[in-house]
Amino acid sequence: MIHSALEHVPGAWVAGDEVYGRNPGLRIYLEEQRVGYVMEIAATDRMATPSGPLAVKEPAVLLPEQAWQRRSAGTGTKGERFYDWALIDDHADTAGVRWALIRRNRNSGESDFFRCYVPRAVPLSRLVAVAGRRWRVEESFAQGKNLAGLDEHQVRM
C-alpha cells in the first residue's frame, strides 16, 4: 500500500504508531525510497550513541531544559495540543538524517518517543507536524468505526 501511495503522492511522509516504528524492514524500505517518516517507538528501544547503544529514554532524561521547545501537534477536540518536544541526534550520512524525537506531556511529564528519518534536515516544527497528523488519522478511524457500527459488532468471513 505504501509503495502504491508513494507513486501517486510524491514527497509524502509516513507516520505510524509503535507497531510500525519498531519494524526495521519498513524503516529500511522507506529510507531506500528516501521517504521521510515519524514513527513511535518504545522508551526501551535502543539507539546508537558515542557511548554505545542506549535505550532512547536514557539520553532523554539528560537533556537540558533549553533543549525542549513548546509546539502544537495540531488542533484537537479541545483546541491546540501543546507538548514539549526535543530531538536527540542519532545519525546523519549521505542517505539522510535520523533522529529520536521526544514528546513530553506538559502536565504529567510523561514522554513518548519517535524514530524520524528525512533525506535532508528539516526543522523540528516539520517533524512535530508529521507526528501530529497521526492523531487525526486515528480519530478518523475511530469515528468511522462508530458511524459504521463497527465498534459494536465483529464480522467474520
Q: What is the overall mean pLDDT for the chain?
A: 85
Domain total for the chain? 1
Residue 155 within a domain:
no
Check pLDDT > 60 for residue 43: yes
Q: Quick check: is 40 in a domain?
A: yes
Full domain range(s) for residue 93 = 2-148
Q: Tell whether 64 is covered by a domain.
A: yes
Domain membership of residue 120 (yes or no) is yes
Would you place residue 140 in the very low, low, confident or very high pLDDT band (cuts 50, 70, 90)?
Answer: low
> What's the mean pLDDT in 73-87?
87
Output the pLDDT for position 79. Answer: 83
Residue 11 lies in a domain: yes
Q: Tell me whether residue 156 is in a domain.
A: no
Whether residue 85 has pLDDT greater than 90: yes
Strands 37-41 and 46-47: unpaired
Contact assessment for residue 36 and residue 117, using Cβ atoms and an 8 Å cutoff: yes
pLDDT above 60 (res 138): no
**pLDDT (0 to 100) of residue 3:** 81
pLDDT tier for residue 75 given thresholds of 50, 70 and 90: confident
Q: What is the pLDDT of residue 92?
A: 74
Q: Which residues pair with 116 in a beta bridge?
A: 38, 99
pLDDT at 144: 56
In a domain, 154, yes or no: no
Q: Looking at this protein, which amino acid is placed at residue 42?
A: A
Q: Encode burial over 34-59: b for 16+ CB neighbours within 10 A, e otherwise.
A: ebbbbbbbeeebebeeeeeeeebbbb
Q: What is the mean pLDDT of residues 40-60?
A: 89
Mean predicted confidence (pLDDT) in 39-44 = 95
At residue 44, the pLDDT reads 95
In a domain, 123, yes or no: yes
Which of helix, strand or coil describes residue 147? Answer: helix
* Whole-number pLDDT of residue 42: 96
Closest C-alpha to 88, from 139, 47, 129: 47
SS (H, E, C) the chain: CHHHHHHHCCCCCEEECHHHHCCHHHHHHHHHCCCCEEEEECCCCEECCCCCCEECHHHHCCCCHHHCEEEEEEEECCEEEEEEEEEEEEEEECCEEEEEEEEECCCCCCEEEEEEEECCCCCHHHHHHHHHHHHHHHHHHHHHHHHHCCCCCCCCC
Q: How many CB atoms lie within 10 A of CB 32?
A: 9
Span 89-133, pLDDT tens digits: 867 788 899 999 999 999 998 999 999 999 999 999 999 999 998
Q: What is the pLDDT of residue 147?
A: 61
